[in-house]
Amino acid sequence: MQALSLTPPSPTPRCPGSAVEAPQLIVGGWVRQPLQLDARALLARGAEAVTFPVVCMFDGDHGQPLQLQAVPLLPLIEQAQPAFEHRTDFKRVAVVAESSEGYRALFSWNELFNTPVGAGVMVAFEPSCSPDIERRGAFALISRHDWHTGPRYVRHLAMVEVVKLW
């Protein structure tokens, strides 16, 4: 007879050799299939190496461009299946990227899915349990085609939320 384990399986991955949970990114809000992703899940999506200069509105470049691993945001939103009920619901939707520190960046649905800007909006990530997580966070949102990239660069990205405005 096999022994029965009373400990439930861990709901989230752990850092190797540690009891610390691997960071998770949520893609949710007004969607049918919310996602909870770790760096390994993003890496499996065919992450690419990108160079990202942080350029602010008032004081220009912020040092050397960042070297990041990133995946496009749009397929993640599509996989989460926005809960559109009517053919024109997309006109009433915004996408909000929020950090664990409360910083937010906003995109309209049309901007993401109907302009060149959308192709450059990506989720960047650090390898699971990397020491750089302390500084920039496990996940970041970048908008590569903005002229001033700093305002919509979201470090410590915790959630991407699809929001129905009206």
Give me the domain span that covers residue 126.
Answer: 25-164
pLDDT in tens, 89-141: 999 999 999 999 999 999 999 999 999 999 999 999 976 555 555 666 899 99
Q: Is 68 within a domain? A: yes
What tokens does 162 get?
């699809």
- Give the CATH number for residue 81: 3.90.420.10
CA distance 27 to 37: 8
Q: How many domains in the chain?
A: 1
Q: Is 10 within a domain? A: no
Q: Is 141 within a domain? A: yes
Measure Cα distances from 73 to 3, 15, 101, 112 in Å. 44, 25, 20, 9
Q: Is 6 within a domain? A: no
Q: 85, 93 in Cβ contact below 8 A?
A: no
| Banded pLDDT at 58 (limits 50, 70, 90) | confident
Q: pLDDT exceeding 90 applies to what percent of the chain? A: 69
Question: Tell me, what's the pLDDT at 63?
Answer: 75
Question: Tell me, what's the pLDDT at 64?
Answer: 84
Detail the DSSP E strand segments found in the chain.
Answer: 25-29, 35-37, 48-52, 55-56, 60-61, 66-72, 93-99, 104-108, 121-125, 139-143, 157-164
Average pLDDT, the chain: 86
Distance from chain centroid for Cα 11: 20
Q: Mapping DSSP to helix (H, G, I), strand (E, B) and coil, where does residue 157 land?
A: strand
If one compares 22 and 81, the residue with the highest pLDDT of the two is 81
Q: 119, 69 in Cβ contact below 8 A?
A: no
Q: Is 52 within a domain? A: yes
CA distance 41 to 44: 5
Closest CA relative to residue 27, chosen from 78, 89, 70: 78
| Banded pLDDT at 10 (limits 50, 70, 90) | very low
Question: Tell me, what's the pLDDT at 35?
Answer: 98
